[in-house]
A and B are shown apart, each in its own frame.
Chain A
Amino acid sequence: EADIYQTPRYLVIGTGKKITLECSQTMGHDKMYWYQQDPGMELHLIHYSYGVNSTEKGDLSSESTVSRIRTEHFPLTLESARPSHTSQYLCASSALVTGATLQETQYFGPGTRLLVL
């Protein structure tokens, strides 16, 4: 059972507002990720982090920024929200799981559905 939390779960906000989407995990995972998913579509990686003070941009260009000051916390910020930012944002974390073979599984949070008016 993975413990990864996102807040808020739903957010409706006006254009131009600054927003921060929170993501935290209690598993001590070093790697964390943000994905963007439009309704009925695939997920696109927008940011990832290997650990504290590490942040990288993903495959999909995004106007959002992230920070990683603590291992358990990986917030995503939009300085000025626009309607084009309307989407679902999913946070994930991963760690190596040692079994018969080494595995790395990404665990996903419940997501934040963002609507920018």
Chain B
Amino acid sequence: ELKVEQNPLFLSMQEGKNYTIYCNYSTTSDRLYWYRQDPGKSLESLFVLLSNGAVKQEGRLMASLDTKARLSTLHITAAVHDLSATYFCAVYSGGGADGLTFGKGTHLIIQP
């Protein structure tokens, strides 16, 4: 059974600081996703990572994937208040049940 673990689950940080969110998963997968969810809203796709060593960047967010370590990171550079949200990583299950297995999410608060 595929398990996806994120840490930290809660993060409060100041504007201008850097931080990294970690996502570990338990079985081999060929796809990892990062999503953002604002309170009361749906999920917005941020990144799709497909191969070992993949790195993608969008603004102040950068995601990377190490398939051998089964680890993905979401790095935030010089955080701004607008990045406050919940960030989910999700791993493609494949096999009998198609769809994504989600981590519990990282609730990020960025304070001025």
Q: Is the CB of B103 within 8 A of A105?
A: no
* Contacting residues, chain A, for B102 (C-beta < 8 A): 42-44
Q: Which of B88, B92, B97, B105 sits near A58, CB closer than 8 Å?
A: B97
Contact A90-B97, Cβ < 8 Å, known A42-B102, A42-B104, A105-B48: no
Contact residues in B for A108 (Cβ distance below 8 Å): 35, 42-45
B72 in contact (CB, < 8 A): no
Interface size of A by Cβ–Cβ distance < 8 Å?
A: 27
Kindly report which residue of chain B lies nearest to residue A97, judged by CB atoms: B48
Contacts of A103 on B, CB cut-off 8 Å?
Answer: 48, 50
CB distance from A44 to the nearest CB of B (A): 8
Number of A-B contacts (CB under 8 A): 66
B107 neighbours in A (Cβ, 8 Å): 40
Among B41, B42, B86, B90, find the residue whose CB has the most chain A CB atoms closer than 10 A.
B42
* Contact yes or no, A111 B48, CB < 8 A: no
**Which applies to chain A's interface (DSSP): helix, strand, loop or mixed?**
strand
Provide the A51-86 mask, 1 if CB < 8 A to any CB of B, else 0.
000001111000000000000000000000000000
CA distance A102 to B51 in the complex (A): 11
Give residues of chain B (34-73) contacting chain A, Cβ–Cβ below 8 Å: 35, 41-45, 48, 50-51
Contact A50 B98 (CB under 8 A): yes
Cα distance, A108 to B90, chains bound together (Å): 13
Chain A nearest CB from B50 CB (Å) reads 6
The answer, among A41, A56, A57, A90, for a CB contact under 8 Å with B42, is A90
Binding site for A on B (CB under 8 A): 31, 33, 35, 41-45, 48, 50-51, 86, 88, 90, 92-93, 97-105, 107
